[in-house]
Structure 1
Amino acid sequence: MKKILFAALIAASFNAAADNAGALRYVVGAGLTIGGDKLATATYTNGHSANIKAGSGLQVLGGVDYRVAEQVSLQATLGYHVHFTPSASNGDASFTRIPVELLAYYHLNNQWRVGGGVRYVASPELNGKGAASNIDMDFKNTTGAVLEAEYFVNHNFGVKLRAVSEKYEPKSGKYTGKASGNHIGIFGNYYF
């Protein structure tokens, strides 16, 4: 599934580039997110602990941004989103997922745009190593919604504030019910 989505994203970018030279830009970005339900807690020998949350972490992304009209643009990205505990000598834990986002924007002016769209999350997994190896759990792929505003510092660099609504359901295991992955985040994107 991941390979098919990635191939479709690349094919669409080449088609758009051929038809509308100058309207297509590539984008890479990274951001920090906070929120979501607690999935696991790592406790250290010094008494400190760290939580793994379903919406928190670091996300990196790459994709295309296509200007459809003067005030409308579309963006498609493939990313990697991870929340992890600081490594300890006896183990660590992480929650990883692969988001594919399709977003539409309305440009308020040359510096601001607002938009939203859909976020499909593939392969969400909670993993532990060492002392945390008992927390491993796979979740079902999920679909959520994204709302965001972006401020362009210049033509090539934008700062985004975003809110995401999504839920994670375990495939099987000792956990039941859905975990909220709802989160807010701040991103920096570079367009070229």
Structure 2
Amino acid sequence: MLRTWQQCVSLVAGMCMALGVSAQTLTMASPSPYQWVIEAGWNDGGDKMADGNYVNTGKPWEIRAGKGVQGGVGLQYAFNDQWATQFTMSYTVDSTNGTNGDAAFKRSPAEWMLIHNLNDRWRVGAGWHQSFSAKRTNTGVAALLGTENFKADSGAVVQLMYFFKPYTNYKLSGSEINAGLGLRYVTEQFTSEKTTRVYRADHGGLFLGLYF
């Protein structure tokens, strides 16, 4: 009888130890090298593509090849604590936002960068930049001008980013979102498929980045 109780106690103790190890394993799950990225910002620069004056106010407007609001999503993969690679797809538009018509230059940039963490607050990155589906559209009173498509040459991007809280390349599921503010510079150019005119689109930008 005593032997049976000892066996039961040993079995229960073994099960408790196994459950404890399993729980510890779940709690200490390996951090993931992958992080989602969301970016939003403002760019300025490039050659002038169109300009004019608002009819109701008389104030001037212009469309530039490197100017516009930009937003994008992407994925980062960490090689180690200091190095990572990041791919993002974005949408950029510079628009006049007129009340009776609108002229806009739209494009979808893709970027692939190699990123180095200088410390847990600062990081630098550089890589490839390519815009797709670049076109200038006209609506309302400007609709008669139609749509003009552009061919985009590959360019380069460099950026510097500061995180508001200490950042790490590896994160556990459910960890807080890391946010940072960055500066970037891009080189690229667009060629009109209608007139073959080349527009330089080199520009600087200010952006907010979220990593989770």
TM-score, normalised to structure 1, is: 0.84
Q: C-alpha distance in 2, partners of 1:171/1:53? A: 17
Is the 8 Å Cα contact of residues 42 and 85 (structure 1) preserved in structure 2? no
Cα deviation for residue 73 of structure 1 reads 0.9
In structure 1, the partner of 2:66 is 55
Cα deviation for residue 125 of structure 1 reads 0.4
Say which SS state the counterpart of residue 169 (structure 1) adopts. Answer: strand
Is the 8 Å Cα contact of residues 97 and 121 (structure 1) preserved in structure 2? yes
- Structure 1 residues 131, 42: closer, same or farther in 2, change over 3 A? farther
2:49 equivalent among 34, 39, 48: 39
Q: Which runs of 4+ in 1 moved over 4 A?
A: none
Is the 8 Å Cα contact of residues 90 and 109 (structure 2) preserved in structure 1? yes
2:110 equivalent among 93, 100, 113: 100
Is the 8 Å Cα contact of residues 122 and 142 (structure 1) preserved in structure 2? no
Is it true that 1:69 corresponds to 2:80 in the alignment? yes
Is it true that 1:186 corresponds to 2:197 in the alignment? no
In structure 1, the partner of 2:162 is 151
What count of residue pairs does the alignment treat as equivalent? 170
Structure 2: tracts of 5 or more residues without a match: 1-29, 168-177
Q: C-alpha distance in 2, partners of 1:148/1:179? A: 23
TM-score, normalised to structure 2, is: 0.76
Cα deviation for residue 177 of structure 1 reads 2.8
Cα deviation for residue 41 of structure 1 reads 1.2
**Whose strand fraction is larger, Structure 1's or Structure 2's?**
1
1:167 equivalent among 173, 183, 189: 189
Is the 8 Å Cα contact of residues 42 and 132 (structure 1) preserved in structure 2? no
Q: C-alpha distance in 2, partners of 1:140/1:183? A: 18
In structure 2, the partner of 1:17 is none
Q: Residues 55-80 of structure 1, C-alpha deviation per residue, up to 9 Å, x if partnerless?
A: 11100000101111121111100110
Q: Residues 26-56 of structure 1, C-alpha deviation per residue, up to 9 Å, x if partnerless?
A: 0111000110111111322232220000111
Is the 8 Å Cα contact of residues 46 and 203 (structure 2) preserved in structure 1? yes
Say which SS state the counterpart of residue 88 (structure 1) adopts. Answer: coil
Q: C-alpha distance in 2, partners of 1:92/1:177? A: 22
Identity %: 35
Q: C-alpha distance in 1, partners of 2:52/2:102? A: 8
The amino acid across from 2:207 in the alignment is: F
Q: C-alpha distance in 2, partners of 1:36/1:132? A: 22
In structure 2, the partner of 1:78 is 89
1:141 equivalent among 152, 158, 170: 152
Kindly report the root-mean-square deviation, in angstroms, between the aligned alpha carbons of the 2 structures.
1.4
Is the 8 Å Cα contact of residues 152 and 189 (structure 2) preserved in structure 1? no
79-88 or 38-47: bigger deviation: 38-47
Q: C-alpha distance in 2, partners of 1:95/1:141? A: 13
Structure 1: tracts of 5 or more residues without a match: 1-19
Q: Name which one, 1 or 2, has greater alpha-carbon Rg.
A: 2
